[in-house]
Structure 1
Amino acid sequence: MIVTVLGGGNGAHAAVADLTLRGHEVRWWRRAAAFPPGGRLRYRTHDRVGRVTAAMATHDLAAAVEGSGLVLAPVPASAQPDLLAALAPVLAPGQAVAFTPGTFGTWHGSRLRPDAVFLETGTLPYLTRVTAPGEVDIPVTSSRLPVGSIPGAGPAADAAHARFADAYPEAVRVSDGLDAALANWGPVIHPPLIAHNLGAIQTLAERFDIHADGSSPAVLKTTSALDAERLALRAALGLPAPHWPLEDYYLERDTSMYPPDAKARLLASGLWRETVGLDHRYVHEDVRRGLVLNVALARLAGVPAPTGTAILTLLGTALGEDLLDVARVTGELGTGDLDEIRRTARDGAPAPAPAVREG
């Protein structure tokens, strides 16, 4: 299958390497940044090392997606609006686009191109980092990858999910795009790390490892409370099981999105020591978009979210923003009607009415 990978971050590098190794014809698009010479990547997984070459490496988005069976967008949620504006005009009807993960990017994509199918996952398929130009380390690959779409059902959605499962056989189809968005672990794991450790983050900078030094028992209690609010929101919205509790990962259960030894592989890789600040992806993706979405939906649904509210209050003060303004979310969605949101997630966005010609 032809798979187009969009972007130049950790996830895009990993997808180019992994999907090439899985036997797909991988096209790689970046907006402007240079590719490794010849689109060639050196990769390391937990059990092998080697090199792959993308079938195409191009800055021409139309050429990259033409005839592609699956368009994969492992880009931050904050980059989705600009990407969708460029992508929507060059998609073919019925083409499948997957955000990995999405933070409800399916909603925005489907409103721009209701004749395409937009999918999103509950996590990035990889725990991965680019270690040098043209080099990517992938110590962990997802073992159970929740994926939902808008529309959630129907022949077009079925065909898109089949293509996604061809690329990722570990895919677990969930009911729709909202289901997948509220399976996302990023807005649960990362905001407590930032909120609890902001002093150390700003004072110690690169001397502070947010994952090793910042994941104390108290922080993990906050994480558990935040995940309980996510699960309560899912229940209130009538989303079906599985609900993907985060404790499955910490307790190394085989029902997790990652294999039971994922934490051990992560520690062994030594990749997660990084400098994190208020301009980091954990903030602009998982706080400003992910947690803001979850808490706004909870408030619309009448579901208590004291932990999420407290985190957004603290980080909103630090950022100088009102992260608790529900209109911040309803304005982007174009509605605050939960019934409409659920219906659109299931059935897809309505096609725009044809223009009326005068005379």
Structure 2
Amino acid sequence: MIVTVLGGGNGSHAAVVDLSLGGHDVRWWRRSAPFPDGGRLRYRTHDDAGEVTPALVTHDLGAAVKGADLIVAPVPATAQPELLDALTPLLAPGQAVAFTPGTFGTWLGAKRRPDVAFLETGTLPYLTRVTAPGEVSIPVISGNLPVGSIPGTGALADDAHARFAAAYPMAVRLADGLDAALSNWGPVIHPPLIAHNLGAIETIAERFDIHADGTSPSVLATTRALDAERIALRRALGFGEPHWPLTDYYAGRDTSMYPPDAKARLLASGLWRESVTLEHRYVGEDIRCGLVLNVALARLAGVEVPVGAAILTLVGTALGEDLLAEGRNPRSLGTEDLDELRRNAREGMTMLAA
């Protein structure tokens, strides 16, 4: 299968490695940054190490996606609109594009090209970091990968999910793209870590491991409460089990999105001892986009979300912004009608929107 990977971040490096090892014909596109020599990537996983070379590396987006069976885009949610502006005119009807994860990027894609299937996952398939130019470490790969699409049903969706499952055999199909967006763990794990640890983030910097040092019992209490709000929203919108409770990850259950020993592997790797600023993806993607989306939808649905709202207030104050007004809220998606959101996420867009 021809699989195109878009982007140059941690997730894109890991996807090039994983999909190449899976036997796929991998193309790798980056906007302008140089590739490692020949596109070769050295990798280290939990139990293996080696090197892969994708079939094609290119800065030509059209060449990268032409004829691709699946396009995988592990790009930040904040980069999705600009990427989609360049990408959607190049796509052929029936192609499949997967945001990993998506933060409801499926909606943004489907508005532009309703004849293309847009998928998104509930988490990045990998816990990974680029460790040097041309080198990536992937200590954890997802064991259960929730994925939904817009449209959620029909031949276009069925074909796209079959292609995605061929690339990611651990895929678990969800009802649609909104179901997947509300399964996303990023807007639950990272906002409490940012809100509770701003002092350490700004003063200790790269000496502070936000996952090892910042995940204290009191922070986890906030995380559990925020996850309960996410699950309450899912129930209010009619989504059923599984709700992918984050407690499965911390308890090491095999129903988690990651293997039971994922947390131990993450901490042992030491890869997350890095500088996390207010410009980090945890803020731009998981707070400005993901948490804003969850809180705004909850308010439309009449679901009380005091923890999520408080985090937006605290972090927004630090940033000097009204996050709920400026982030990925329903108004920015083009509708505040929950019935329309649910219907179009499930059935697909009926016409090309502006």
Which bracket does the TM-score occupy, shorter chain normalised?
over 0.9
Cα offset, 1:240, TM superposition? 1.9
The answer for the alignment partner of 1:46 in structure 2 is: 46
Residue 231 to residue 46, structure 1, CA distance change in 2 (3 Å): same
Aligned mates of 1:238, 1:317 — CA distance in 2: 33
Q: 2:132 and 2:301 mapped to 1: Cα distance?
A: 45
Partner SS state of residue 257, structure 2: coil
Higher mean C-alpha deviation, range 260-269 or range 173-182: 260-269
- C-alpha separation between the residues in 2 aligned to 1:352 and 1:213? 47
Secondary structure of 1:277's match?
Answer: coil
SS in 1 for 2:115: coil
Partners of 2:147 and 2:190 in 1: CA distance: 21
Q: What do the CA deviations read for 1:184-213 (whole angstroms, capped 9, x no partner)? A: 000000000000010111122122221111
Counterpart contact for 1:296–1:326, Cα < 8 Å: no
CA contact (8 A) 1:142 1:258 kept: yes
Corresponding residue of 2:180? 180
The offset of 1:242, in angstroms, is: 0.8
2:231 & 2:326 partners in 1: Cα distance? Answer: 20
Q: For residue 326 of structure 1, report the CA deviation from its aligned partner.
A: 8.2
Distance (whole Å) between structure 2 residues aligned to residue 283 and residue 269 of structure 1: 23
Distance 2:205 2:43 in 1: 28
Q: 2:292·2:327 contact (CA, 8 Å) conserved in 1?
A: no
Q: Which amino acid letter does the alignment assign opposite residue 306 of structure 2?
A: P
Aligned twin of 2:33: 33
The answer to whether the aligner puts 1:14 opposite 2:7 as a matched pair is no
- Structure 1 unaligned blocks of 5 or more: 354-359
Shift of 1:54: 0.7
Q: Name the structure 1 match of 2:59.
A: 59
Q: Match of 2:204, SS?
A: helix
SS of alignment partner, residue 189 of structure 2: helix
Shift of 1:330: 2.5
User: Cα RMSD over matched residues?
Assistant: 1.1
Partner-residue secondary structure (3-state), 1:324: helix
Report the residue type matching 1:89 in the other structure: P
The 3 A distance-change label for structure 1 pair 327 and 97 is: closer
Q: Which runs of 4+ in 1 moved over 2 A?
A: 324-328
Instruction: Tell me the equivalent position of 1:195.
Output: 195
Letter in 1 for 2:3: V
SS at match of 1:3: strand
Partner of 2:208: 208
Partner in structure 1 of residue 131 of structure 2? 131
- Percent identity for Structure 1 against Structure 2: 76
Correspondence 1:72 to 2:72: yes
For 2:324 and 2:69, locate their aligned partners in 1 and report how far apart those are by CA, in whole Å.
39
Aligned to 2:145: 145
Give the secondary-structure state (helix, strand or coil) at the position aligned to 1:294. helix
Task: Give 3-state SS (helix, strand or coil) of 1:71's partner.
Answer: strand
Q: How far 1:269 sits from its partner (Å)? A: 1.3
Residues 287 and 74 of structure 1: CA distance in aligned 2, closer, same or farther (over 3 Å): same
Letter in 2 for 1:319: L
Q: What's the offset of the Cα at 1:82?
A: 0.6
CA shift, 1:226, in A, is: 0.1
In structure 2, what is the equivalent of residue 357 of structure 1? none
Q: Deviations over 1:164-203 (max 9, x none)?
A: 0000000000000000000000000000000001011112
The answer to whether the 8 A contact 2:7-2:74 is kept is yes
> What code does the residue aligned with 1:61 have?
L
Contact kept, 8 Å, 2:293 with 2:330, in 1: the verdict is no
Q: Deviations over 1:38-63 (max 9, x none)?
A: 11000000111100001000000011
Secondary structure in structure 2 of the residue aligned to 1:235: helix
Deviates more, 1:263-272 or 1:86-95: 263-272
Aligned partners of 1:345, 1:11: CA distance in 2, in Å? 25
Query: Kindly tell me: are residues 318 and 326 of structure 1, through their superposed partners in 2, closer, same or farther at Cα, counting changes over 3 Å?
Result: closer
**Range 319-328 or range 267-276, more displaced:** 319-328
Q: Counterparts of 1:271 and 1:141 in 2: how far apart (Å)?
A: 15
Using the alignment, how far apart are the partners of 1:112 and 1:67 within structure 2? 19
Partner of 1:289: 289
- Give 5+ residue unaligned stretches, structure 2: none
- Deviates most, 125-134 or 265-274: 265-274
Contact 2:288/2:328 (<8 A) preserved: no
TM-score by length of structure 1 reads: 0.97
